[in-house]
Structure 1
Amino acid sequence: MENQLEHIRFLVTKEILGTLSQEERNFLMEEVAKNPDAEETREDLLTVAQNPELLAYLHSERPAKQSALILDRLFARSRKVRIIYSIAAASAAAIALFFIIPQTLHLKSGKSNPSLVENQSVPATGKSVQLSLSAGQTIDLTEDTTEFTIGEQKMKTTGKTLTYQPSGRNEKSYATLNVPAGKDYILKLPDGSQVHLNSVSSIRFPLAFDENFREIQITGEAYIKVAPSAKAPFRVKLQGETIDVLGTEFNVNCYDSLRHTISLVAGKVRVHTEKNHIELTPGLEAVAGEDGFTSRAFDRYITLGWLDGRYILNNTTLEEVCTIIRRLYGVALQVENKALLQNRFTGRIIKGQPLEQVLRGLASTSGINYDQDVQGTYHIR
């Protein structure tokens, strides 16, 4: 077991230093997905390596073996190192909650993803989570415990969770749950399934499932736990794709209309498009492209971090970072210097921290400047 963890540490060290091959990455992600000790080992090493000065030192002009040895020694004292970093971070407001390291040594050029429109604004659907009914009625869902009735349908909100029970009548009525920027919300379906929606996301669902079939429709991002039922298959509709599910857990990300991603945590799913179909096993994700879906291993720490309020940046472009900020804070944000859009960052954004701290963190670690105009739009230069 210890030899296996030594190999995991070796691979994570290569990951941090940017020398990990695709084959090694696939193996590492598979081990992390199925082995809690491997996952903990990787998270510990990544935490140790999030100090900006340390990363700059490791990526300086020195042999890779020497950098790996330094990192391995730091990992052996990771508890002590984390305490030291915490004390240092507490004395620096710009780094206290926002750890972000510009990858100035690994800038990549090339065209942006065409679906990521420059300077796009992601509007909030409102300051509160809203439930829209097919009859045209809209209900604001507060975080206080509330019970209400729609026709014969009894519904209840507790905190950020909506639950309901079918009325018993076979009615084909639908509702849509809309989650605005900066919020997330959970819907518990009457069959025992659960859908956790990320910000700027929605779910359209029936107020009563058919006894032989269950179907929902998702936009944005959601983590879905499906209750098994041999009599009633479960189907998730996206824009252009269909996911057929047995009892399972998976993440759906369809923010980008041209690059949907379905990441399977447990169970089995089959994804259909007009061009092809693909079956997934745990630890793999399906990624949509021009020729249909392809599969690959995924990193649970990165993909599912949003469930814990952690938005992980892993060699992420400034363009993508700005998109995350828009979803989290519901603000208009423009990048005036287009040359900055492909700058890449590694680190994390913690949900709930003030926007000014995030922007100061970006500015202090990358040299960019920002300001806010009288209309409230932020400009990055």
Structure 2
Amino acid sequence: MKLAERKKIAHLIFLSLFDLIDEEKRSELNKWLEKRKENQTLFQQLEDTAYQSQHFSRYTQFNAIEGWEKVEPRLKSKSKNLFYRLLPYAAILILCIGIIVLLRTSSQPDIPTALHKNILNPTVRLVMEDGNTLELNSPSSTQGIENENFKSDGKQLVYKHTESSDSPRHHLLQVPRGGEYALVLADGTRVWLNAATELSYPSYFSGKDRRVKLKGEAYFEVSADSSKPFIVETEHLQINVLGTSFNISAYPDESHHATLAKGKIKAIYEEQQVILSPGEQALLTDSGMIVRPVDVSTYTSWKERRFVFKNKPLKEVARDLERWYNIHFTVSQDAQSIRLTANLPKYENIEKILHIIENIARVKCETNDQEIIIKPE
């Protein structure tokens, strides 16, 4: 779609959103909507206030007060109401710019069919102590299981608190690439597991602490119990908790970090121990563990089904997308220094994600069989 046409359609959409459109322009807009199903989808998204807020936010990140102070002296001879007359037009301009960019995004050429990838509900597995394996994607997957204190509805595995003379049984929950799953442990602690993650835990907690082992990434909302500290072990880190909300990322061959949302946690690495407050992160580096302030939402957005990247190298962006879409990415050497800031819906199909990244980062995503190559535009 040419720029002139995008501007025209943006104007029509704006008039429609604010109920200012007449019959003639409504007819023009309807013709555009009928051309492609994608046009209808985009229009529906633009009517969603949450979607507007997300995608137009970057066009509103300017200091209006500062700008007004610069031009006000030149306009003193004008009507005192000039500012209020101009303000609606500024809003129109900002909104139309956003619509034009989204129109440009929606009109990009399609990714080849081999890479049309929607999330397909991959199989989540529960490995029992006796070696038996249950597939948890079906609500009926745990029906008929005897002598166990759990139930699954296909999206969440819930354990009931159990008082038993038997020893707790060892369970391993495995979430593959492209998947997510929720878990409620026997003490009431809630856990969200990201793609390519494993969590090992007992069927119920006994003894002096509540201990689980994590490989991958998970978000915990720990049920408070001062008599039994909650402990998360990863390959390198140990997190001690009494009752709090935090995220741990411990994927193999990636930097390990724990990010605190609420409460307090103690992070332990070899002989180092640090106490985190909300908004802080313990990060493992080559020289040891460091504590730094972070935007927690950047590290927990996956739980809300979104990708949030803030000045993140494309190589790391590609790694996150690989884990979710299970497609291999290659970032060319001359694109390694490019960084991306974006907030994207996690369950969008891969071609839409790539189109947005191309527009924001000014790169080109080329396909080669089951591989996506990212290079400068």
Q: TM-score, normalised by structure 2?
A: 0.68
- 2:358 corresponding residue in structure 1: 363
Q: Which runs of 5+ in 2 are unaligned?
A: 1-51, 72-82, 109-118
Match of 2:103 among 91, 94, 100: 91
Question: Contact conserved, 2:255 with 2:285, CA < 8 A, in 1?
Answer: yes
Task: Report the CA distance shift for 1:47/1:363 in structure 2 as closer, same or farther (over 3 A).
Answer: closer
Question: Contact conserved, 2:136 with 2:154, CA < 8 A, in 1?
Answer: no
Match of 1:153 among 148, 152, 158: 148
- State the one-letter code of the partner of 2:104: A
Task: Report the CA distance shift for 1:87/1:343 in structure 2 as closer, same or farther (over 3 A).
Answer: closer
Question: Contact conserved, 2:210 with 2:230, CA < 8 A, in 1?
Answer: yes
Q: Percent identity?
A: 24
- Worse-matched range after superposition: 184-193 or 85-94: 85-94
User: 1:228-253 deviations in whole A, cap 9, x for unaligned?
Assistant: 11222211101122111101111111
User: 1:205-256 deviations in whole A, cap 9, x for unaligned?
Assistant: 1112114321001121111011111222211101122111101111111226
Question: 1:367 deviation in Å?
Answer: 4.5
- 1:168 corresponding residue in structure 2: 164
User: 1:170-227 deviations in whole A, cap 9, x for unaligned?
Assistant: 3242111111222221110011111111111121111121143210011211110111
Matched, 1:201 2:177: no
Question: Contact conserved, 1:131 with 1:175, CA < 8 A, in 2?
Answer: yes
Question: 1:306 deviation in Å?
Answer: 1.5
User: 1:332-351 deviations in whole A, cap 9, x for unaligned?
Assistant: 2223x212122111112211
Select the structure of larger CA radius of gyration.
2
Question: 1:364 deviation in Å?
Answer: 4.0
Task: Report the CA distance shift for 1:368/1:267 in structure 2 as closer, same or farther (over 3 A).
Answer: closer
Question: 1:379 deviation in Å?
Answer: 2.7
- State the one-letter code of the partner of 2:142: E
1:232 counterpart SS class: coil
Question: Contact conserved, 2:200 with 2:212, CA < 8 A, in 1?
Answer: yes
Question: 1:369 deviation in Å?
Answer: 3.2
- 1:351 corresponding residue in structure 2: 346
Task: Report the CA distance shift for 1:159/1:95 in structure 2 as closer, same or farther (over 3 A).
Answer: farther
Runs of 4+ in 1 over 6 A off after TM superposition: 67-70, 76-82
- 1:378 corresponding residue in structure 2: 372
Match of 2:314 among 301, 311, 318: 318
Task: Report the CA distance shift for 1:302/1:91 in structure 2 as closer, same or farther (over 3 A).
Answer: same
Question: 1:310 deviation in Å?
Answer: 1.8
Matched, 1:50 2:62: no
Task: Report the CA distance shift for 1:167/1:231 in structure 2 as closer, same or farther (over 3 A).
Answer: closer
> C-alpha distance in 2, partners of 1:208/1:199?
24
Match of 1:218 among 214, 219, 232: 214
Q: Which runs of 5+ in 1 are unaligned?
A: 1-43, 59-64, 97-123
Match runs of 1:1-381 below 5 Å:
48-51=56-59, 84=96, 87-88=99-100, 91-94=103-106, 127-144=122-139, 146-148=141-143, 150-165=145-160, 166=162, 168-255=164-251, 257=253, 259-335=255-331, 337-374=332-369, 376-381=370-375
> C-alpha distance in 2, partners of 1:68/1:322?
43
Question: 1:130 deviation in Å?
Answer: 1.3
Task: Report the CA distance shift for 1:304/1:292 in structure 2 as closer, same or farther (over 3 A).
Answer: same
Question: Contact conserved, 1:161 with 1:185, CA < 8 A, in 2?
Answer: yes
Task: Report the CA distance shift for 1:280/1:69 in structure 2 as closer, same or farther (over 3 A).
Answer: farther
Task: Report the CA distance shift for 1:79/1:217 in structure 2 as closer, same or farther (over 3 A).
Answer: farther
Q: TM-score, normalised by structure 1?
A: 0.68
CA RMSD of aligned residues (A): 3.4
How many residue pairs get aligned? The number is 295
- State the one-letter code of the partner of 1:139: L
Question: 1:324 deviation in Å?
Answer: 1.3
- Using CA pairs under 8 Å that are at least 6 residues apart, name the structure with larger relative contact order, 1 or 2: 1
